[in-house]
């Protein structure tokens, strides 16, 4: 369930809970990422194009950083692809165009940096995030009764989380373990933005997303969700790394983009979105 004027419409990526990471071929990956092409001021008609792949939870931040970067580099066009971190990694490993890669955790990034066929820069951790339990404002009595993580796991509550194979799903698993709660999700999504969409759309009573996604939803529409305090969430931290694919013909430009993301301007954008400092 994806609605965004700046991105292409793609099929919903969701499934009922099953263990393990799905296998996706390169042809299938073409439709996986949301692509925001030239979302800044640069036209890039005759200049270079930079392919930036970013985790779904970074979508809003990256759009702003891309706009800043294109403004600072006239003639450069940035093609931003936003998807679940494992899908982005699969794209890179299978040879899809990529100059910069930013994932939602270090374990997923390691699948790229440890691949002997790829040359990457040393990953820089530039942000942190924590999970948050959000409850729908439109789902009815079951949602109204959710006041804790225990409540979200109760029978009759439609809880949606990310697939454990993606960083937001791993964070949900760690949160549940820390709180001593057994989750019973009705579906597992491949992107945190899809979890949030189901909650805000009333298709789910509750969901575990990132704190930044909850904040963004409330900024767009006050009252869109209710955030339930889970004390253990503060200790469940995802660290976001970024790397440059060094064999890219635009490696120098890619390093410049990373400098913008990790520099003072990027830090302001990250702070405003609620991301923590590593």
- Residue at token pair 């889970």: 230
* Spatial distance between the Cα atoms of 147 and 50, rounded to a whole number of angstroms: 45
In the chain, where does DSSP find H-type helix? Answer: 26-29, 59-72, 85-93, 106-113, 141-144, 149-152, 167-179, 192-200, 211-220, 251-262, 264-273
Identify the CA nearest to 228 among candidates 144, 162, 160, 161: 144
Report the distance separating Cα 241 and Cα 206, nearest Å: 28
- Is 210 marked within a binding site? yes
* Annotated binding-site residue? 67: no
Q: How far is CA 257 from CA 53, 72, 80, 89, in A?
A: 12, 10, 12, 19
Q: Is 7 annotated as a binding residue?
A: no
**How far is Cα 254 from Cα 199, in angstroms, rounded to an integer?**
36
List the strands of the sheet with 100-102, edge to edge.
34-37, 77-83, 49-55, 100-102, 238-244, 124-129
192 is in an annotated binding site: yes
**Short-list 257, 252, 243, CA closest to 120:** 243
Return binding residues for molybdate: 57, 85, 192, 210
Return binding residues: 57, 85, 192, 210
């Amino acid at each position: 369930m994806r609605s965004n004027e700046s991105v292409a419409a793609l099929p919903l990526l969701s499934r009922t809970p099953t263990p393990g990471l799905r296998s996706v071929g390169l042809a299938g990956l073409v439709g996986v990422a949301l692509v925001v092409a030239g979302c800044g001021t640069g036209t890039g008609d005759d200049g270079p194009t930079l392919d930036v792949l970013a985790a779904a939870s970074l979508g809003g931040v990256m759009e702003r950083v891309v706009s800043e970067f294109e403004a600072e580099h006239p003639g450069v066009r940035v093609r931003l692809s936003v998807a679940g971190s494992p899908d982005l990694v699969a794209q890179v490993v299978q040879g899809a165009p990529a100059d910069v890669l930013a994932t939602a955790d270090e374990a997923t990034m390691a699948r790229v940096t440890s691949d002997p066929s790829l040359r990457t820069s040393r990953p820089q951790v530039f942000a942190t995030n924590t999970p948050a339990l959000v409850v729908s404002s439109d789902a009815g009595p079951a949602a109204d009764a959710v006041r804790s993580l225990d409540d979200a796991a109760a029978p009759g509550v439609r809880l949606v989380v990310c697939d454990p194979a993606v960083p937001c799903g791993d964070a949900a698993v760690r949160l549940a373990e820390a709180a001593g709660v057994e989750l019973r999700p009705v579906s597992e999504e491949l992107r945190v933005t899809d979890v949030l969409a189901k909650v805000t759309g009333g298709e789910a009573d509750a969901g575990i997303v990132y704190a930044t996604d909850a904040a963004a939803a409330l900024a767009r529409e006050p009252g869109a969700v209710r955030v339930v305090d889970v004390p253990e969430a503060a200790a469940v931290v995802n660290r976001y790394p970024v790397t440059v694919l060094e064999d890219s013909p635009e490696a120098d430009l890619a390093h410049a983009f990373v400098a913008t993301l990790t520099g003072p301007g990027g830090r302001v954008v990250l702070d405003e979105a609620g991301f923590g400092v590593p």
